[in-house]
Chains A and B, each alone.
Chain A
Amino acid sequence: MQGEHCIILEFKLQGSDFESAGEASSRLKVVLQQVGVKSDVVRRIAVSAYEAEMNVIIHAYCGTMRAMVYPGRTEIEVVDEGPGIADIELAMQEGYSTAPDYVREMGFGAGMGLPNMVRCTDKFKIESQVGRGTVIKMMIFH
Chain B
Amino acid sequence: MRGVVMDEYFHSVRLIENRCKGCVICARRCPIEAIRIRHGRAQIIEPRCIDCGECIRRCPSHAKAAITDSLDDLAQYEYNIALPAPALYAQFGIETRIDSILSGIVALGFDEVFEVAQGAEIVSLAIKDYLKRSDIKRPAISSACPAVVRLIQIKFPELIDNLVPIDAPVEVAARVMRAKASQERGINPDDIGIWFITPCPAKMTAVKRPLGSEKSNLTGAIGISQIYGQLLKMLQQGRSVDTIHRRHASWLGINWAVAGGESAAVGAKNKLIVHEINSVNEVLEQVALGRLTAIDYIELLACAGGCIGGPLTVENRFVAEANMKQRALKMQAEDAAEDKVPLQEYMESALGVNERRAIEPRPILRLDEDIFKAIYKVEVMEKILEKLPGLDCGSCGSPNCKALAEDITQGKASETDCVFKLRERVRDLAKEMMDLAEKMPPSLDKDTS
Give the interface of A toward B (CB within 8 A).
1, 5-7, 22, 25-26, 29-31, 33-37, 39-40, 42-43, 46-47, 50-51, 69-71, 107, 116, 142
How far is B289's CA from A29's CA once the two chains are assembled, in angstroms?
Answer: 10
Closest to B155 in A: A33
> When A7-B379, A22-B285, A36-B374 are in contact, do A107 and B367 touch as well, CB less than 8 Å?
no
Pick the contact of A7 from B157, B363, B375 — CB < 8 Å? B375
Let me know if B365 is at the binding interface, CB within 8 A.
yes
| Bound Cα distance A5, B376 (Å) | 9
**B330 adjacent to chain A (CB < 8 Å):** no
Please name the residue on chain B nearest to A26 by beta carbon.
B285
Known: A22-B289, A46-B289. A1 touches B368 (CB 8 A): no
Q: How far is the CA of A106 from the CA of B158 in the complex (A)?
A: 25
Report B-chain residues with C-beta under 8 Å of the C-beta of A30.
Answer: 365
Q: Does B3 contact A (CB under 8 A)?
A: no
Residues of A within 8 A of B289 (CB): 22, 25-26, 46-47, 50
In the complex formed, the residue of B with least CB distance to A71 is B371
Q: Is the CB of A36 within 8 A of B158?
A: no
Contacts of A50 in B (CB 8 A): 289-290
CB of B32 within 8 A of chain A?
Answer: no
Q: Is B361's beta carbon under 8 Å from chain A? A: yes
Determine the chain A residues whose CB is within 8 A of the CB of B363 once the complex forms: 33, 36, 39
B286 neighbours in A (Cβ, 8 Å): 22
Output the least CB separation between A67 and chain B (Å): 12
- Give A120's nearest chain B residue, CB to CB: B290
The majority secondary structure among interface residues of chain B is: helix
Complex alpha-carbon distance, A37 and B363, angstroms: 9
**Chain A contacts of B71 at CB under 8 A?**
none
Partner of B378, one of A25, A26, A31, A142: A31
Instruction: Tell me the complex Cα distance, A69–B379, Å.
Output: 11
> Is A71 touching B372 in the complex (CB atoms < 8 A)?
yes
A46 to B324, CA, bound (A): 41
B158 touches A42 (CB 8 A): yes
B376 and A40 contacting across the interface, CB-CB below 8 Å: no
Cβ-defined contact, A1 with B290, below 8 A = no
Contacts of B158 in A (CB 8 A): 39-40, 42-43
Cβ-closest chain A residue relative to B402: A30
Complex Cα distance, B200 from A105, in Å, reads 39
Once A34-B367, A36-B366 are accepted as A-B contacts, the answer to whether A29 and B375 lie under 8 Å apart by CB is: no
A-B contact pairs, 11 of them (CB 8 A): A5-B372, A7-B379, A22-B289, A33-B363, A33-B365, A34-B374, A35-B374, A37-B371, A46-B288, A71-B372, A142-B371
Which chain A residue shows the least CB distance to B369? Answer: A36
**Which of these, A6, A36, A43, contacts B367 with CB under 8 Å?**
A36
**In the bound complex, do residue B361 and residue A39 qualify as a contact, i.e. CB atoms below 8 Å apart?**
yes
| B291 close to A (CB within 8 Å) | yes
Q: Which of A6, A33, A70, A142 contacts B366 (CB 8 A)?
A: A33
Given the complex of chains A and B, what is the CA–CA distance between A116 and B289 in angstroms? 11
Do the beta carbons of B375 and A5 come within 8 Å of each other? yes
Q: Kindly list chain A residues whose C-beta atoms are within 8 Å of the C-beta of B285.
A: 22, 26
- Structural contact, A7 and B378, CB atoms closer than 8 A: yes
A70 proximity list for chain B (CB < 8 A): 375
A6 to chain B, nearest CB (A): 7
Alpha-carbon gap, A22 to B283, bound state (A): 12
Nearest to B367 among chain A residues (CB) is A34
A46 to B155, CA, bound (A): 13
CB-contacts of B375-407 with A (<8 A): 375-379, 381-382
> Using an 8 Å CB-CB cutoff, how does the interface string of B93-130 with A read, 1 for contact, 0 for none?
00000000000000000000000000000000000000
Encode contact with A along B205-238: 1 for CB under 8 Å, 0 otherwise. Answer: 0000000000000000000000000000000000
In the assembled complex, the Cα of A42 lies from the Cα of B371 at a distance in Å of 14
Q: Which of B285-323 contact A (CB under 8 A)?
A: 285-286, 288-291, 294
Contacts of A29 in B (CB 8 A): 288
Give 1 or 0 for each of B151-175: 1 = CB within 8 Å of chain A CB: 0000101101000000000000000
Residues in A with CB closer than 8 Å to B378 are 7, 31, 34-35, 69
Chain B residue, CB-CB nearest to A43: B158
Most chain A beta-carbon neighbours within 10 Å: one of B290, B291, B371, B378: B290
Most chain A Cβ neighbours within 10 Å, of B158, B369, B376, B378: B158
Q: In angstroms, how far is the closest chain B Cβ from the Cβ of A117?
A: 11
Query: Quick one: closest A residue to B290, CB to CB?
Result: A47
Nearest CB on B from A95, distance (A):
14
